Amino acid sequence: MSLNTEITFAYKQLVNSTNLLNESLLEAEVMHAQCYKLPAVVGDMSDSSGWEFINPDVYTGFTALSMATGAFSRFTPSYQHSPKYPFRLPGIIQLNPVHNEHISEIVNQCNHLKLKIKDLINSSKLDQIKKRELIQSACPNAITLQIYRLIKTTSSPVRRVGFTWCNKTSMRTIKKNEFLDYLQGSKNNPPAGQTKAEWTPWVDKEIDLIKNKTSDIVKVKRPLPIVPKLNISFTDDTKTIMFYGHLPVIIFTADPIKITPLKSYIDKKSKKQLQEYLIKRLYVVNECTDQT
């Protein structure tokens, strides 16, 4: 069996298992369902201008359940969202514990197939373009991460679910001389709307700033999209756990649970944060803060 055939077959199994999960959820005794729809701009890494204020819309009951099941089976982009970045739907589905064994078995099957597809693609030793072609042959227009995302469940008796936001950054260090070479090269590639004559002086200023650094390395601290998270605590001695809010979490608890809602996110930039970058365009950390 060829790799392409294996992936296509595993994907078809995943679609069938996900459909079975959704049908089972719609037929189960749902104690409570709640989810938060995020604006389409959230998570679009090509433009961070929509992250300063995020006001999620909350849905409960059957509407939330329908949205959740739709998210479990969504492997292609939502028409409103960027096709370059995965869709997110933080939320919970609270089921009567009598459904624990049946639903958990289907979820395990879905997750097993997700991991199988991921392992098949990553073990292929192909480049990123060829890997994308593999997943696209099984599911045209697929966003790979939406296929890979595991469905989370917990069976211990839940006391509280707290929704919150998580700020993330990626830190990278680059040799000073390599970064200067990059800046020299960028002088010949002005952004759209600017001439080379207009662009070159700006890059020359950036080159001078890097040359004046006492350190031999340049630290780049790039902000990543704001991520919703869930903190789940229990009535027994199970330790509190935290999940990313990529997909709704399925919990099995008969009693009412306390929910801390996902509030609006407001990015309050302090004076220190504004001074953090030596070159804000490239997220180069300032000399006075790069030792922290």
Q: What is the pLDDT of residues 216-258, one digit of tens each?
A: 999 998 877 788 999 999 999 999 999 999 999 999 999 999 9
Stretch 70-92: mean pLDDT, rounded? 85
What proportion of the chain, given as a percentage, has pLDDT over 90? 58
**45, pLDDT greater than 50:** no
| pTM to 2 decimal places | 0.79
Q: What is the pLDDT of residues 2-27, one digit of tens each?
A: 888 999 999 999 999 999 999 999 99
**269, pLDDT greater than 80:** no
Compute the Cα dihedral for 183, 282, 172, 125 and give only its sign: negative
Stretch 68-84: mean pLDDT, rounded? 84
d(CA 250, CA 92): 6
> Alpha carbon of 2 to those of 10, 88, 134, 146, 148: distances in Å?
12, 33, 11, 24, 21
Least confident stretch, 52-56, 159-163, 218-222, 238-242? 52-56
72 close to 247: Cβ distance less than 8 angstroms? yes
Stretch 120-131: mean pLDDT, rounded? 86
Stretch 261-280: mean pLDDT, rounded? 73
Annotate 57-91 with b (16+ C-beta within 10 A) or e (fewer). eebeeeebbbbbbebbebbebbeebbeebbbbbbb
Residue with tokens 């936001």: 165
What pLDDT was estimated at residue 291? 45
More confident residue, 85 or 77: 77
d(CA 131, CA 141): 13
Residue 123: pLDDT band (50, 70, 90) is confident
Stretch 52-79: mean pLDDT, rounded? 91
Q: What is the pLDDT of residues 177-215, one digit of tens each?
A: 999 999 998 888 888 888 888 899 999 999 999 999 888
Q: What is the pLDDT of residues 100-111, one digit of tens each?
A: 999 999 999 999
The pLDDT mean for the chain works out to: 88
Supply the DSSP symbol for 282: G
What pLDDT was estimated at residue 271? 47
Residue 51: pLDDT band (50, 70, 90) is low
- Which of 224, 182, 172, 223 is closest to 203 using CA atoms? 182
Task: Give the number of C-alpha atoms closer than 13 A to the C-alpha of residue 266, restricted to the C-beta side.
Answer: 4
163 close to 245: Cβ distance less than 8 angstroms? yes
